[in-house]
Structure 1
Amino acid sequence: MRHKLLKAFCCVLTFLLVCTGRSLYAQVIDSTPTTNPLILIQDSAKLAQAAKPAKKIRFYDPGKAALRSAILPGLGQIYNRKYWKVPIVYGALGTTAGIFIFNLQWYRRTRYAFNAVSDTNGQYPNVHPDLQYFVDNKDGQTLSYLRDQYRRDIDYSAVFFLIFWGLNVVDAAVDAHLKGFDVSPDLTMHVRPTLSQMAFTNGPALSLVFDVGKKKRDLVRARF
């Protein structure tokens, strides 16, 4: 009798141990995180990206840049921090200004020599040596042609000087305006087909849409 009771007690104890082990195993499984590891990687990447300090973008006013270049050439390029353009601006303006001064000087010399050809009172004694030959030979026709030629060159050089000045202003304004556009390496372009608006009037049509925006960074996929 005692042996039977001991055997029944062992069976009941074994049954209780088995049930307790299953409940403990179920609790361990339920306590393990069910979150997808990829989601954890994405969240950590977002947190790391958000922790980075935002880069300050300086705003460039096209109106200020244009006004500064209009007052003083190259000042708008300095405002836009495009210092390498300043020598180009002054090189173009300096060249046209030098041509203008050169033509103006020779226009005055040829006009003076032309007046000396018809002078009989000696009022034009100091003729330029390069033009003295024409004065001595009374070649007023050649002097008149040279005078008119230099006069046209003065006009052309003045026009080109004003054109380069205007281009200097336009360059400063456009450059300041383009400073606001995002030209970082994160930009990307996607091409996708879509239904054209003309389909409602002229029948079915297909068009391509170009989407330009920030490039989504690829997250590292890992297996656990």
Structure 2
Amino acid sequence: MTKYISILFLLFITGNISVFAQVKKDEFLVLADTVKGKEINPLAPARAAFLSAIVPGLGQAYNKKYWKIPIVYGAIGTSVYFYFDNNKKYHQFRDAYKMRLSGQDDEFKGQYSDATLINAQRTFQRNRDLSLLISFGLYALNIIDANVDAHLMQFNVNNNLSFRPEIYPNEINYKQNVGVTLNYSF
């Protein structure tokens, strides 16, 4: 009987203890940022993406990455050029095939067979559609690049944070060992 009383007493004592692991405070932790000595604009990535969506390359100019603007226009311009070139050739072969079906002389004048004209139409139509998809993809890549670049400008990259691989000889057999060192100094 005393055994049961001692167990109940122990449970009674330990069951009434209130334990608080964390206390909620109404304070906010504010840290000063040290990115190039200027204040961070949290809306800069959204603005850069918006500007690039309006005019390709404008987001790169907003981020002051002027060297990317010719790459953006070169990539989008090349894909648009191939779109119009393939579209022109598609219509050229399509019109020639239509003229041939109506019994008129086409610009190729028997140089190509009907099957060749149909195959050329399909090829240039596929290339035209692919060029259009690539144009839209490069346009989206332009927007993504401006957004990501604006995000990365906000990271603190200085000499206090370094990552460098090291190759050093083993002192026993003098074979090369490879290691990685991550240093962070306050």
Q: What TM-score does the superposition give when structure 2 sets the normalisation length? A: 0.64
AA of the residue aligned to 2:111: F
Residues of 1 paired with 2:64 and 2:157: CA distance? 16
Asked if residue 96 in structure 1 is aligned to residue 79 in structure 2, the reply is: yes
Say whether residues 1:181 and 2:123 are aligned partners. no
How far is the alpha carbon of 1:134 from its aligned partner? 3.2
Partner of 1:142: 116
Instruction: Specify the alignment match of 2:109 in structure 1.
Output: 132
| Alpha-carbon distance in structure 2 between the residues aligned to 1:150 and 1:79 | 38
Shift of 1:186: 2.9
Cα deviation digits, residues 99-134 of structure 1 (max 9, x gap): 0010000000000100111223x4xx6x44xx3343
Give the match's secondary structure for 1:134: coil
Task: Assess if the C-alpha contact under 8 Å between 2:160 and 2:183 holds in 1.
Answer: no
5+ long unaligned stretches in structure 1: 1-53, 190-209, 217-224
Structure 1 partner of 2:6: none
Contact 1:134/1:140 (<8 A) preserved: no
Question: Is residue 42 of structure 2 the alignment partner of residue 55 of structure 1?
Answer: no
CA contact (8 A) 1:67 1:76 kept: yes
The answer to whether the 8 Å contact 2:48/2:59 transfers is yes
Structure-to-structure mapping, 1:6-25, within 5 angstroms: none
**By how many angstroms is 1:211 displaced?**
7.8
Aligned residues between the structures: 133
Higher relative helix content:
1
Give me the CA root mean square deviation.
2.3
- For the structure 1 residues 212 and 168, does the alpha-carbon distance in structure 2 shift closer, same or farther, using more than 3 Å as the test? farther
Cα distance in 2 between the residues matched to 1:188 and 1:96: 40
**1:100 aligned counterpart, secondary structure:** helix
Query: Which of 136, 153, 156 is 2:130 aligned to?
Result: 156
Counterpart amino acid of 2:67? W
Matched, 1:105 2:92: no
8 Å CA contact retained: 1:134, 1:142? no
Partner of 2:101: 118
Unaligned segments of structure 2, at least 5 residues:
1-35, 164-180
- 1:178 and 1:212 map into 2 onto residues whose CA distance is 21
Amino acid of the structure 1 residue aligned with 2:87: L
Q: Tell me which of 39, 47, 72 is aligned to 2:55.
A: 72
Structure of higher CA gyration radius: 1
Percent identity for Structure 1 against Structure 2: 35
Q: Distance in 2 between matches of 1:78 and 1:63?
A: 14
